[in-house]
Copies of this chain bind each other. A is one copy, B any other.
Amino acid sequence: MLRFTKKTEYALLSLQYIASKEGSLVSAKEIAESIGVSFEIIAKVLHLLGKSGITQSIQGAQGGYLLQRSPSMISLSDVISAIEGKPSQLVECVTSEDIDDQSCSCNVYSNCTIKDPMTVIHNMMDEMLTSITIQDFMHIPVYHTISETINTLEQ
């Protein structure tokens, strides 16, 4: 349905929360309570973010999580990849990796006629998801067009 998963949503909320604490260790329990979802889910999400090097975790009592790089260096694309285990794929046969070297695994049509336009769309989407970072989740007003947003982000 072209929708972010709940896990991605929780990841963004968690990263936003950690970023707002600017460098101090934050526990999964604290984040879960702040967001209002179960501890287990937040722990799982933070674990996934850690495996991808987005967050750093300190085990043990008084442990917790912190960001491995600044909010402006963590893109939405990074978060989606971390949560889903792979880069986003609008269609099965087009990924961010080795675009020219990809064979269509869908066997329904021998000669795919939408792969090229789909690749264009994928690239546009990818560029967009890469341009948005956790920093943009800190305090930004609502814009209504790409150009307005790009102008603002470039300032």
Chain A residues in the interface with B (C-beta under 8 A) = 1-5, 9, 12-13, 16, 35-37, 76, 80, 84, 88-92, 99, 108-110, 113-114, 116-117, 119-121, 123-125, 127-128, 132, 136-137, 140-146, 149
Contacts and interface: CB of A to CB of B under 8 A. Distances in A.
Contacts of A140: 116-117, 120
Contacts of A137: 114, 117
A113 B17 CA distance: 9
User: Which one of A16, A108, A124 has the highest number of Cβ atoms from chain B below 10 Å of its Cβ?
Assistant: A124
Contact of A108 (B36, B121, B125): B36
A33 B119 CA distance: 24
A76 B121 contact: yes
A145 B127 contact: yes
User: Which one of A84, A92, A113, A143 has the highest number of Cβ atoms from chain B below 10 Å of its Cβ?
Assistant: A113
Nearest to A119: B142
A98 to B, nearest CB: 13
B88 A2 contact: yes
A108 B3 contact: no
B143 A90 contact: no
Given A125-B128, A149-B124, A109 B35 contact: yes
Contacts of A120: 136, 140, 142-143, 149
A36 B146 contact: no
A4 B149 CA distance: 25
Contacts of A9: 91, 114
